[in-house]
Structure 1
Amino acid sequence: MRVTVQEAPFDFGREAEDFASGHHDMGAVVTFTGIVRDLATGDLDAMEIEHYPGMTQKALEKIATEALERWSLGDVLVIHRYGRMTPGEKIMMVATAAPHRVDAFEAAEFLMDYLKSRAPFWKKEHGGQGTNWVAAKDEDEAALTRW
């Protein structure tokens, strides 16, 4: 299990290849990458993500450990960035390795739902309409009920 909270960009291709190549006994590797999405109005200059370092790392490690306990997984990778990012930049990555695809997919979805709704990050959008904190969405909260 590797959980990283970092400011620097990451190379998705390299991370995915490194993760997959180390799991010859696994039949499935699932990856997901979250990307800074422009606003519908097309005027997002940047997304700024804040966090409390020690608290965030512990929270992400706890949920990754829970995924390992709930599904038959060989490994989990979580990378989440903080700081200022522009549209198109990668925010986060989740990878799961399992003997079978169902466990890999379900665990990855579980981790993504958690990261979207419960991980201790705060997002602020900077754009043509000024600066706004991103509010939690009901559909993100509802996604957690299936777990």
Structure 2
Amino acid sequence: MTPTRLRAIFFLAYIIIAGGLWTASEWWERALAKRSGAPLISPGGCYRLEAFKPFWVLPNIFHPQPDLNGVGSPKWFPGWGSPGFYKLYDQRNGKLISETKIYDREAGAWGMDWGEGSGFVYSGLIPIGPNLTDCMGDRPTRVNPQ
């Protein structure tokens, strides 16, 4: 084998392995994530919010940081303060309502809005998920028995 051909094979193998690890890391960063803190129950009892710290093998700087508004492109090589994501559940039956992207909670999460007026649950600037139709603004609606 010539040195040029050997370099080409090495480069191709590197690209395939790196691409495979990148794809696998998209799965394991959420599947192996650790819960950070106790679940937060909404005052009206409709929602349960759980925060997670992603399982990252590579240093934080190698993970792109999404735009909080979802409009801009991700920021590459960011300085993460506290990476994490949220899962929003229906507290009454335990069903998953939504799961967020991984955000820097230090930059955007500073208080809870359970959907009063907006119909959407937010943690600071981080959009978490929609209100359920029978529990808008964290106020459960009464169902009259028939």
**Fold shared, TM-score > 0.5 on shorter chain:** no
Which structure carries more helix by proportion? 1
Higher relative contact order (CA closer than 8 Å, sequence separation 6+): 1
TM-score by length of 1: 0.29
